[in-house]
Amino acid sequence: MADHKIAVTSLEGIWMRGLIDNYIFYAKVCDEASGFGIDCGRIIKLHVRTSDSDKRGKEIFAYERGWDKFPRGKYKGIAQALIRFCESLPEQAIWRHTFYKRVRRFLITDDDILEYEKDNTDSDF
């Protein structure tokens, strides 16, 4: 798996939004695994779009209690990194407040998930 950069902030409830490798994502992550989640995991909704200049961008994959649009080709790695990141989060009471109105950045590698500070190559959303 290639390395992926994630910038994330929390929204109301259990929603988060962010960028992964300059693709916009929204994810709804529960505290416990669910039969409705991706691979029966904690992610019950996940939408990833291009960050085109138009307001919405093009949807590249989406999950809402089932795959509406399955990740294909180069997007499989992005999906795997996002799923790995979301599944690694602590309980919502912890991550929601640490991400709320504050962007945090992570590097997802084959071996680890590392937090880092913004550099000149990182995009804001």
Judge contact between 3 and 107, C-beta under 8 A.
Answer: yes
Alpha-carbon Rg for the chain in angstroms: 14
Identity of the amino acid at 18: G
Q: For the chain, give the mean pLDDT.
A: 88
Q: Where in the chain are the domains?
A: 4-116
Q: Which of the two residues, 90 and 63, has the higher pLDDT score?
A: 63
Residue 73: C-alpha distances to residues 8, 37, 60, 80 (Å): 24, 22, 10, 12
DSSP string of 11-57, one letter each residue: -STTEEEEEETTEEEEEEE-SS--TTSGGGSSEEEEEEE---SSSS-
Distance CA 121, CA 123 (A): 7
- For residue range 30-74, list pLDDT tens digits in order: 999 999 999 999 999 999 999 865 567 899 999 998 999 999 999
What pLDDT sits at residue 6? 94
Percent of the chain exceeding pLDDT 90 equals: 61
Number of H helices and E strands in the chain, helices first, is 2, 8
